[in-house]
Structure 1
């Protein structure tokens, strides 16, 4: 009887964390789940909320990144996000060879993009800025378009597709029939769009990541056409969706801690640990899915082979067994080895780029916004529970100053 009660409790807590009315602050429910770091739901899915337990599973070769059951629809080819070694390693190597050299030395360019986006709203009079729509979204979208070789004017097309696809990442029980239908339609639209993009580049190669994957030299190059389409979809969508949340969540943390905002304005180097604390305190990706390839003893219990597992990264990031005073936002926190970018072989391939974008954007906001204030507290959030962040983030200011370095 005790076990059944505990299972019901875990399922109820997780359901509450997923409810939209709790989107602004799911952390009290995660904190309660964290008291039992490994627990099954009623449907047989296991919830893992402890930092040490999540870290272990992220690095355990007996855990698969593909969390779908065999009877579920399978695509022709899977992205590296849900592939296991050695297939994952081959795909990741192909992407890394082309991606990493292209993002090195981009900080000045990112700085210029941020400056331009804010300059469009420069005013010596009181005004408002939507940090999401005016900065956090257009910045990573512009960058990923430039890197991949995607026309910037196509953003409304893949932006619409991305919003529907990312909603599909949430637990299926939280989605309506209309949303599931839209998910299927979005997948078809994305395939059609990418096939056209690939055909264009086949006819006219360019100096971009897409051409590099199609024609590049190397041990694993060029990339197989089907793998190319799947990988391009992953990079196009993941390359901006999570960074939007990182910048918005970071801005929100600063506005709620005006002492830190003032400190960042005076100490720009604070931005490096500050972004790491955002990734711990309010991560843009709240959870991830896995499945077990063998029985795994963990947290005083055994997760059976073939089980689905939800790794509650946001809960692990606030595990009091790992982080002291976990509900406080402390940029000076020592040893901040958070789970914000995952871990193991699936550690976020775009982590360096996302960090740089957030660091530059938050520094510019601190430097240029005079007396910024939240218009709505809490702000309206996106529907997504897994990719969690504000849908809009309206900020009032007394003035938005020109970049002092160019005056």
Structure 2
């Protein structure tokens, strides 16, 4: 087979391309937590499609269900018409996920991406409350369309909008200023003082663990207090679980540990199971005041994704799956803590929760160096944060422990290489 000429991407694909610059290879095959390029090189995947592949690549059960469905000439595209795969998914999602967690949500299918579900959530919150403003948080990331960008903190991303991004007030996320200061004191003062200039908003939107913003995990008590503030001031709470959800933090929803019941929840990425585009906007039944067709999207009826998503939900029928995620998360946490202690020149801080972890480097360039060294050694891993100061571990939640440990060994080798340390440091 002829080798791909990389010039085709350089000459014909837009300069906006990103990940192919960090991972300069032509990938041809993937299975589980392993990818291969056309030269036969093998890579452990600690990227997982930026959280879209929490169940790994080409899961056998999902693949077989999808192949069987395609071969039976099942409906592919249906907008929001009734189909049997959609009915099966809705039934499974309610029985396996919502009911056992005591959650009662209506399910809306917007367009099939993360930014689509956020746009739907913002629109619904404004429609329900009759208010225009949204409170977002520093370092939050919610998508690349105009509404989602307006509640995103990253200045570089916001600049791409080309127009003013309005009707949003940004407040400091947990620990944004110092570890000692409760930033909700600041928010509460703005909500209660008549001279603050901040009107009561329609909603607050946040990630319980900020992915692109630097793997910042809000404390349980901070999240619980924020929910109380929302209730006191009749503000809707929107949790963006596009990246932090579907097992990434150790539970299906990232807010379960804090015992929250958000008014609106945004899901996408791994909800489809197989990497197929799918998004859900969940909201309390009393908020369902949409008129038919008031918000829609041509590809909201992705039946192939309904098929694989239903198979993916089978994993959550017993506690064993969640327990296995939490065991692997504990292994990762111990490893990262040890790395920070063994390599003080890294000046690192462990960030995140569950299998959404990373190390923040005081020297921002070090995180990128570690990720680049890891790729040379056969590990795919990205960086996060405004200055790409965090190297970010996002293995599939289904990754075998031996593969996970092999990836962690590569990370330690890469840290040594980035720091210019030639010999291993003994524990």
Fold conserved between structures, TM > 0.5: no
**Higher share of residues assigned helix:** 1
Normalised by the length of structure 2, the TM-score is 0.25
1 or 2 for the larger relative contact order (CA 8 Å, sep ≥6)? 1
